[in-house]
Amino acid sequence: MPRIDGATLTTHEHPAPAGFFMPHYTMRMQIGPYRIEPNVILAPMAGVTDKPFRQLCKRLGAGLAVSEMTTSDPRFWNTSKSRTRMDHDGEPAPISVQIAGTVPAIMADAARHNVDHGAQIIDINMGCPAKKVCNAWAGSALMRDEALVAAIVSAVVNAVDVPVTLKIRTGWNADHRNAPVIARIAEDCGVAALAVHGRTRDQQYTGTAEYDTIAVIKSMLKIPVLANGDIDSPQKAAEVLRHTGADAVMIGRAAQGRPWIFREISHYLATGELLPPPGLPEIRDILLGHLGALHAFYGEVSGVRIARKHLGWYAKDRPENAAFRAVVNAAETPERQLQLTSDYFDALIAGDSFAIAA
Ligand SMILES: Cc1cc2nc3c(=O)[nH]c(=O)nc-3n(C[C@H](O)[C@H](O)[C@H](O)COP(=O)(O)O)c2cc1C
């Protein structure tokens, strides 16, 4: 029988034709005191994984949803951007907040500050490839300096009583794939779980993610390992888990405009069966609820503007994409945005995709 080894990951034999075995996974994982179930996790994405989107993804099956990164620099904590990023009111536990920065003592302060504001898990960003993260060479740029990585991780772990997780890439570039070294440092410094995006920093988001380095890291560590990069379907999630032995999959871009991917993946991992895609009425209702949450969270003007981005993602795989975008851009108020979206879907459901395109 195929077996995936991992502290808490188990496989079962699937009732299948004689001689053919298909693994399916009962997936749960522990991060400190928190049981994460299912182990299908929303990746942190700046400008995307805000509170409304995290709540939606959790409702649709994500076992954990990591916040957008928040700067460790206290000079920016009072900006409206930071205040919305640090707002976790009403969010289901465990609340995981990502911090970014380069100075150990400042990162320690930021961790404490976020715990005081509701964070139950602190995630450290060493995965973001942007040239400058929060006005400093933070994110995956830090992976070049292994001593500094150890100093930052130790400072943060020692500063808070909550579990600390770390997110990294496989290295700086193809010649410096030092993620296994960083992984060892992380475990030795007390990190509770490690997420690895299967790309080097210089790849940015180009090329394809590789999972061999994640498999090596998983084989070395006792702490849970989360596999990330290019996972966009239930079958791919199962394949990555099989290949790496990781304890969880972390989904980023594939969740944009498709928040139901979490239940699709967890259902497939648990049963070996694919859920049917959501119908138009369900997509309409999910989308209207998402828009309403964005309007309420950001206020009318910003809410409508931020919602346009999400509307575009929901539309990206639809044949009537262009008409839907026209709807998106026409609306200037929350009421109008909701009404046009609702009318548009109702027309689609009635089989009239051009009814409100003009
Ligand atoms: C728009 C966007 C914003 C991102 N912001 C962050 C971030 O704030 N912190 C971080 O660690 N990674 C960030 N990432 C990287 C993702 O967490 C993830 O590692 C990457 O997208 C690969 O996973 P995917 O192929 O499933 O998208 C971001 C990615 C995107 C596309």
The average pLDDT across 126-137 equals 64
Q: Please tell me the predicted confidence (pLDDT) of residue 294.
A: 97
**Whether residue 98 has its Cβ less than 6 Å from ligand 1:** yes
Sign of the torsion formed by the C-alpha atoms of 46, 208, 250 and 116? negative
Contact 89, 100 (CB under 8 A): no
Residues noted as catalytic: 128
**Whether residue 19 has its Cβ less than 6 Å from ligand 1:** no
**Whether residue 253 has its Cβ less than 6 Å from ligand 1:** yes
Task: Look up the pTM and report it.
Answer: 0.91
Report which of 91, 43, 92 is spatially closest to residue 68, judged by C-alpha positions. 43
Atom of ligand 1 nearest to the CA of 255: 26
On the question of pLDDT at 222 being above 80, the answer is yes
Q: Looking at domain 10-271, does it have CATH number 3.20.20.70? A: yes
Name the DSSP letter for residue 277: P
On the question of pLDDT at 183 being above 80, the answer is yes
The average pLDDT across 5-24 equals 42
Query: Which of 82, 85, 128, 165 gets mutated to test ligand 1 (max ligand atoms within 8 A of its CB)?
Result: 128
Contact 80, 50 (CB under 8 A): no
Q: Which amino acid is at 128?
A: C
Mean pLDDT of the chain: 88
Phi first, then psi: give them for residue 124, nearest 5 degrees: -100, 130
Give the pLDDT band of residue 3 (cuts 50, 70, 90).
very low
Give the pLDDT band of residue 8 (cuts 50, 70, 90).
very low
Tokens standing for 184? 């060892």
Q: Please tell me the predicted confidence (pLDDT) of residue 20.
A: 44
Q: Which helix (H) or strand (E) holds 321?
A: helix 321-330
Contact 34, 94 (CB under 8 A): yes
> Which region, left, alpha or beta, applies to residue 213 given φ > 0 means left and ψ of -120 to 50 means alpha?
alpha
The average pLDDT across 256-280 equals 95
Largest CA distance in the chain: 64
For residue 46, the CA-to-ligand 1 centroid distance in Å is: 7
Query: CA 107 → CA 31, 37, 271, distances in Å?
Result: 20, 29, 42
Q: Which has the minimum average pLDDT: 2-16, 22-36, 305-319?
A: 2-16
Strand 23-26 vs strand 10-13: parallel, antiparallel, or unpaired? antiparallel
Which regions of 240-302 does DSSP assign to beta strands (E)?
248-251
Q: Please tell me the predicted confidence (pLDDT) of residue 167.
A: 97
**Whether residue 167 has its Cβ less than 6 Å from ligand 1:** yes
Q: Please tell me the predicted confidence (pLDDT) of residue 130.
A: 66
Q: Please tell me the predicted confidence (pLDDT) of residue 156.
A: 98
Q: Please tell me the predicted confidence (pLDDT) of residue 138.
A: 65
For residue 124, the CA-to-ligand 1 centroid distance in Å is: 13
Q: Please tell me the predicted confidence (pLDDT) of residue 22.
A: 53
More confidently predicted of 133 and 161: 161
Q: Which has the minimum average pLDDT: 55-64, 95-104, 315-324?
A: 315-324
On the question of pLDDT at 55 being above 90, the answer is yes
Q: Please tell me the predicted confidence (pLDDT) of residue 226.
A: 98
Atom of ligand 1 nearest to the CA of 43: 17
Q: Among 3.30.70, 1.10.1790, 1.20.120, 2.40.70, what is the CATH number of 280-349?
A: 1.20.120
Q: Please tell me the predicted confidence (pLDDT) of residue 316.
A: 80
- Distance CA(144)–CA(202), nearest Å, equals 12
Q: Please tell me the predicted confidence (pLDDT) of residue 270.
A: 92
- Distance CA(232)–CA(306), nearest Å, equals 24
**Whether residue 15 has its Cβ less than 6 Å from ligand 1:** no
The average pLDDT across 302-327 equals 85
CA nearest ligand 1 atom 18, residue: 252
Q: Please tell me the predicted confidence (pLDDT) of residue 24.
A: 63
**Whether residue 197 has its Cβ less than 6 Å from ligand 1:** yes
Q: Using DSSP, state whether 192 is helix, strand or coil.
A: coil
- Distance CA(96)–CA(119), nearest Å, equals 6
- Segments making up each domain of the chain, as ranges: 10-271, 280-349
